[in-house]
Amino acid sequence: MDPVVVVILAVAVVALAMMTAVLVVLLRRIGGAGPKGLTPEQEAEVSAQLEEARREAAGIRAKAQDDAGELLRRSEAAVEAAAEMRKEVEAEGKVLKYELKELRADLERRENRLAEREERLDDEARRQADRARKLAETETELADRREDLERVAEERKAILERVSGLTGDQARAELVREIENQAKREAALIVREIESEARKEGEKRATKIVTLAVQRVATEQTAESVVSVLHLPGDEMKGRIIGREGRNIRAFESTTGVNLIIDDTPEAVLLSCFDPVRRETARLTLEKLVLDGRIHPQRIEEAHERSKAEVQELCVRAGEDALVELAITDMHPELVTLLGQLRYRTSYGQNVLGHLIESAHIAGIMAAELRLDTTLLKRCTLLHDIGKALTHEVEGSHALIGAEIARRYGEHEDVVHAIEAHHNEVEVKTVEAVLTQAADAISGGRPGARRESLEAYVKRLERLEEIATSYEGVEKVFAMQAGREIRVMVKPGAVDDIQAQVIARDVAKQIEEELTYPGQIRITVVRESRATEFAR
């Protein structure tokens, strides 16, 4: 409470007390008049009233004193609160003054830093201006020197042209030719080193993989593929086969389409036909007729029909056996049938189904060495020649035909691509296609796998010698080891060591582009220098 209000209240209480005292005095004076004008009853009543007034005045005085004390205490508490509030205000004022002082000091520091930064920027701008001025002076000086150098160069050029007898363009062309020759020689050296390193590493890894694959595969050698021999229980069976006036042999040949040769060979006849399936059907037909003993045109036709069904069943069984051997599952039945028909087909004397199984084993081994999917590689290699089963029925190469058949019967696109690219008729894009080519080449190029006609062999050797002889500086060419190695003798005065390396690489590249051959051909360029003197 405000101290002023407390003082006013105290003054009011004192005034009230004074008025009460005055009233009491007046009453006493009235009472002192005595009984001159009052009756005893009135006097007693007045006395009672005076007594009651005194008591009320005493109560009022006591209450006024209590209220005055309470007001005094409140005024003292208010004074103390005002003093505490004044102290708090003074403390907050000091804190605010300190913070204000700190803010002013921080502002002054920032203003000082800004002023210093502006001074540094001004100094940097002055340095940049000096640098630009010096750079302009340097450019001007360089331009003057360039003009002097160009003038000197023109003078030297004129002097050189007079001395050498060559113009600037001629000298430049001569320099370019010299640099080009030097660059070619250096490039040839680098290429030779790179090729040597790559060949060493590549041959080491390839030899390891191919050797492991070949050493784990054992297959049959080339066999006769156009004649089948059927052994008879006795020579008297030949007469039954011929029949009366040769009707049985004529009926047999017309029904089966196979030539039946009966000669002086004891207890044996020959069946000759270029179609292996037809020849096998005829062999089974004749075998059934010989076992039955009844041979006539009607029996020949019946036995032939049964033999055709049996051959078809054998084809399916051969295809299933191939899948079981290679642990391949989930193949379309039509593909299995076509695969089995290749049992009776040959390529250069090599059984096609045996070639596919052998190639699949080789591809699986190489895939295992390279940590690839062996099942996918076996599937690609087993089906890569599937088109040969329909080559005589559909136009086109067997690779594209086989790819179309595999795509039609739901084979994976990687398998289809490996089939169509194994003879490079389609650009090779996958690792599976490359390994399919390698396995096909290994199976077909191993010794004893296929036979080659003499005419094709001679033509291949002649073409190899022609390719090597066509290069400048070649003196003699020798085809060795059945055309698997070529030794090229060059003139030492016309060809140096670097050029010999280039010739070897170019000959190998041309052979790869022009010729088809199994395996690989080694090209060896020999450059020999001899010096001979006589001592007398």
Q: What is the CA radius of gyration of the chain?
A: 63
**Mean pLDDT for the stretch of residues 366-374:** 87
142-146, 366-370, 373-377, 480-484: which has the minimum mean pLDDT?
Answer: 480-484
Secondary structure (DSSP) of 405-471 = HHHHTT--HHHHHHHHTTTSSS---SHHHHHHHHHHHHHHHSTTS----HHHHHHHHHHHHHHHHTS
Residue 428 pLDDT greater than 60, yes or no: yes
If pLDDT is split at 50, 70 and 90, which confidence band does 34 have? very low
Provide the percentage of residues in the chain whose pLDDT is more than 90: 3
Which secondary structure element, helix H or strand E, spans residue 351, and what is its range?
Answer: strand 350-351
8 Å CB contact between 485 and 448:
no
8 Å CB contact between 480 and 521:
no
Under 8 Å CB-to-CB from 143, ≥6 apart: which residues?
A: none
Residue 25 pLDDT greater than 60, yes or no: no
Which carries the bigger pLDDT value, residue 5 or residue 332?
332
Please give the backbone phi and psi of residue 478, each rounded to the nearest 5 degrees, phi first: -125, 125
Whole-number pLDDT of residue 425: 84
If pLDDT is split at 50, 70 and 90, which confidence band does 30 have? low
Whole-number pLDDT of residue 384: 87
Whole-number pLDDT of residue 70: 81
What CA–CA distance (Å, rounded) separates 298 from 300?
5
What CA–CA distance (Å, rounded) separates 381 from 304?
34
- What residues does each domain of the chain span? 3-143, 227-445, 454-527
What CA–CA distance (Å, rounded) separates 30 from 359?
156
**What's this model's pTM, rounded to 2 decimal places?**
0.45
Which of 2.60.120.620, 3.30.70.1350, 2.40.70.10, 1.20.1200.10 is the CATH number of 454-527? 3.30.70.1350
Per-residue pLDDT tens digits for 336-358: 888 888 887 777 667 788 888 88
Sole residue written with tokens 């000086």: 141
Whole-number pLDDT of residue 393: 61
Q: State the average pLDDT for the chain.
A: 79
Per-residue pLDDT tens digits for 138-173: 998 898 888 888 888 888 777 777 776 666 677 777
Provide the CATH topology of domain 227-445: Hypothetical protein af1432 (1.10.3210)
What CA–CA distance (Å, rounded) separates 410 from 179?
59
Whole-number pLDDT of residue 281: 85
Task: Return the structure tokens found at 529.
Answer: 């220098």
| Same fold across 227-445 and 454-527 | no
Closest to 301 in 3D by CA, of 285, 321, 325? 285
Per-residue pLDDT tens digits for 292-315: 878 888 888 888 888 888 888 888
**Mean pLDDT for the stretch of residues 180-198:** 80
Per-residue pLDDT tens digits for 443-495: 776 655 565 555 666 777 888 888 888 888 888 888 877 677 888 999 888 88
